Amino acid sequence: MTMKKISAPPFGPTYLSAPSVCERYDNRSHMWLERRLRNDPNFPKPIKIGPRRFFKLSDLEAYERQCAVASHD
């Protein structure tokens, strides 16, 4: 799984849209994201703004670090 590095602005948290999260994880499908949210309790939960969902970049990065550590155990 290849992850893209996104630089944060100088202030406040950065949020990614659901399509951007799918793109971050090797252009995964919308269904992949739905399954990840349903089946992986450690996957970051989105916030909803209107009908759209956004994921906090720092939460995704923490999840990625957690997965990396778990894969080395």
What's the pLDDT score for residue 31?
Answer: 98
**pLDDT for the residue 13:** 85
Q: In which domain, by residue range, is 45 found?
A: 15-72
Residue 28 counted as domain residue: yes
DSSP per-residue letters across 21-68: HHHHTTS--HHHHHHHHHH-TTSPPPEEETTEEEEEHHHHHHHHHHHH
| Residue pLDDT tens, the chain, 73 long | 566 666 555 567 899 999 999 999 999 999 999 999 999 999 999 999 999 999 999 999 999 999 998 887 6
Is 7 among the domain residues?
no
Is position 3 within any domain?
A: no
Say how many domains are in the chain: 1
Is residue 31 in some structural domain? yes
Residue 61 inside a domain? The answer is yes
Task: Let me know if residue 9 belongs to a domain.
Answer: no
Structural domain contains residue 37: yes
Residue 29 lies in a domain: yes
> pLDDT by residue (tens digit) across 31-41?
999 999 999 99
